[in-house]
Amino acid sequence: MFVNVSDKKEFLVWLVNNVSFSQREVLWILNYLINHEAILNNVHFIEQADKATRGLKLTAKEMDDEPIRLFLSGKEFTDTDQIFHEIRMNWKEALYVECAFDGSWQNSQYLSILEDNPYARWNEQVSEEVVERINEFFAQEEQKAKIELLYNQIDLALEDDNYEGFLELTNELNRLKK
């Protein structure tokens, strides 16, 4: 999914103005990203940044976590100078950013720029139980739709005085209901 750089920038401006971080350096890094569109072109907002080869997790003050963490091929860094240097020196590489703040899933700006994490796709994390329940739901809905269609066809057969069609359709309806 392609996300417009101006939308990313707009969200980051909102983030800087509305979310508090326990380290001011987080705001400096965010402002750096806002002011460098070339870097923003390679920034992708995702969930589970720790799974990415080059992920950055920003955590609001009210959350119980480090304010900023950089994940590079399984290693974790919390030093803001190191993180800034990594972003600045490797600006051509994809940077996967996760933003953890209260109400993130209710924030339309955040949701509009959120992309699927290529290193931890959401549909690969759905449990078998959930998949089974979803499949059951769709099977029930399909059954209801078939029954509704048969009722409509039975009505049409009655209106057209089609006795044979009526018998076939009611037999099929009875089989479906069992």
Per-residue pLDDT tens over the stretch 91-138: 999 999 999 999 998 999 999 999 988 888 765 566 778 778 888 999
Q: Which of 8-17, 85-94, 154-163 has the lowest mean pLDDT?
A: 154-163
How many domains in the chain? 2
Going by the DSSP 8-state scheme, the letter that residue 50 receives in this structure is: G
Tell me the per-residue pLDDT of 12-30, one tens digit each, with 9 for 90 and over.
999 999 999 999 999 999 9
Same domain, yes or no: 118 and 143: no
Kindly provide the b/e burial profile for residues 166-177, where b requires at least 16 CB atoms within 10 angstroms of the residue's own CB: beebeeebeeee
Instruction: Name the residue range of residue 14's domain.
Output: 5-124
Same domain, yes or no: 152 and 110: no
Same domain, yes or no: 115 and 136: no
Same domain, yes or no: 103 and 44: yes
Same domain, yes or no: 9 and 84: yes
Same domain, yes or no: 118 and 133: no
Side-chain half-sphere CA neighbours of 44 within 13 A: 21
Same domain, yes or no: 113 and 160: no
Same domain, yes or no: 65 and 135: no
Tokens 């993180």 locate to: 83
| DSSP for 104-157, written as a single string | GGG-HHHHHHB---TTS-GGGS--HHHHHHHHHHHHHHHHHHHHHHHHHHHHHH
Shortest CA distance to 33 belongs to which of 103, 86, 104, 74? 86
Same domain, yes or no: 25 and 50: yes
Same domain, yes or no: 116 and 144: no
